[in-house]
Chains A and B, each alone.
Chain A
Amino acid sequence: MTPDVQFVVLGAGGLGCPALLGLRAGGARRVVVVDHDRVERSNLHRQVLYDLGDVGAPKAEVAAATLRRAGLEAVAHPIKLTPEAFGPWLSGFEPDAIIVECTDSPALKFACNDACVAQRRRLVLGAALGLRGHAIAVAPGSACYRCVFETPPPEALTPSCAEAGVLGSAVGVTGFFLAHLACALAQGQALEAVGRLYELSLGSGIIRTIGGRPRSGCRCRAVHPTESPVSTTAVFT
């Protein structure tokens, strides 16, 4: 059972919905849902916490209400996050909270990574497009998302969902996997997984981990200069 940790889920869309369901499945009891968008009919197939009656309603409110009906303590924050204001905003949460980053903004993902590193927070961060998914768990002392990718991809090289194609089930696998990493982190079980990027190539069915070592020169080394990566134990026992 997942201990009584606060999970702060950023984004309640194609990644965030399955992540929230995964947290529920993993035994999470306290969840904060952050999203400024409203439910749209065209998203319903992959944003699996919503139904037709929710169209037009704030996603964060609907998602939190759904989780409360399942017995969770769920709070909605229907606000728009920006990279600039992210750090101060994040500092208001419990120090032991686990942040689950599920937005569609590369700039926000990097801002979230940097803020979590600076505030020594545990983080699970993901991205999905087409048939590819990435997921990484970050903890104080471990390699971070920026150790793997130094900067966000430029907008000009970022394909739209329409161009890349979005398969809701592929995004769903990534979202559920993020929740799994978050629950494992909460239980202190995911230590071998921490700092590694999981690449889910769902077209070919290949899942592999890459990286895992802190990159010298990464800004996370300024925060944790002498800490070696966390010790390794079984990831999924």
Chain B
Amino acid sequence: MATVRIPTPLRKFTQGKDEVTIAAASVRELLANLEATYPGIKERICDETGAVRRFVNVFVADEDIRFLENLDTAVKDADEVSIVPAIAGGR
């Protein structure tokens, strides 16, 4: 099971949990399984075509998946997967 770090704006989908564990062999599978467990969360991360939204970053073991195999990036059991959306704010 990979550990997925959930950013604050998406914790309303995970009952407030900042970290969840998901079984998956790839990022694509991980996002699908995340959605199965926490319905509604995936559309905040991915657009209609299934691609990761351009203001969101997904990291596997601190590597940006855009520099790896994108959604096909392999996920290992001990990996930490982080979902990092851009922040809007500052006042």
Where the two chains meet, the residues of A that have a C-beta atom closer than 8 Å to any C-beta of B are 11, 13-16, 43, 102-104, 106, 126-134, 148-154, 157-159, 161, 164, 166, 171, 174, 199, 203-204, 208, 210-211, 213, 215
Q: Mark B1-40, 1 if CB is under 8 A from A, else 0.
A: 0000001110000000010000000000000000000000
Closest beta carbon of chain B to A193's beta carbon, Å: 16
Option from B57, B62, B64, B87 in Cβ contact (under 8 Å) with A132: B87
CA distance A154 to B55 in the complex (A): 9
Known: A148-B57, A210-B57. A127 touches B89 (CB 8 A): yes
Neighbouring B residues of A104 by C-beta, 8 Å: 88-91
Known: A159-B9, A215-B66. A133 touches B57 (CB 8 A): no
Contact A127 B91 (CB under 8 A): no
CA distance A36 to B82 in the complex (A): 37
Where the two chains meet, the residues of B that have a C-beta atom closer than 8 Å to any C-beta of A are 7-9, 18, 44, 54-57, 59, 62, 64, 66-67, 82, 84-91
Known: A153-B55, A164-B8. A210 touches B62 (CB 8 A): yes
Known: A151-B54, A164-B9, A213-B67. A106 touches B91 (CB 8 A): no
Neighbouring A residues of B64 by C-beta, 8 Å: 210-211, 213, 215
CA distance A164 to B44 in the complex (A): 16
CA distance A111 to B26 in the complex (A): 35
Known: A152-B55, A159-B9, A204-B18. A210 touches B90 (CB 8 A): no
Contact B89 A161 (CB under 8 A): yes
Neighbouring B residues of A131 by C-beta, 8 Å: 8
Closest beta carbon of chain A to B10's beta carbon, Å: 11
Known: A132-B8, A150-B54, A211-B64. A157 touches B87 (CB 8 A): no
Contact A127 B8 (CB under 8 A): no
Contact B91 A13 (CB under 8 A): yes
CA distance A151 to B9 in the complex (A): 18
Neighbouring B residues of A149 by C-beta, 8 Å: 54-57, 86
Closest beta carbon of chain A to B58's beta carbon, Å: 11
Closest beta carbon of chain B to A185's beta carbon, Å: 19
Contact B18 A128 (CB under 8 A): no
Contact B55 A151 (CB under 8 A): yes
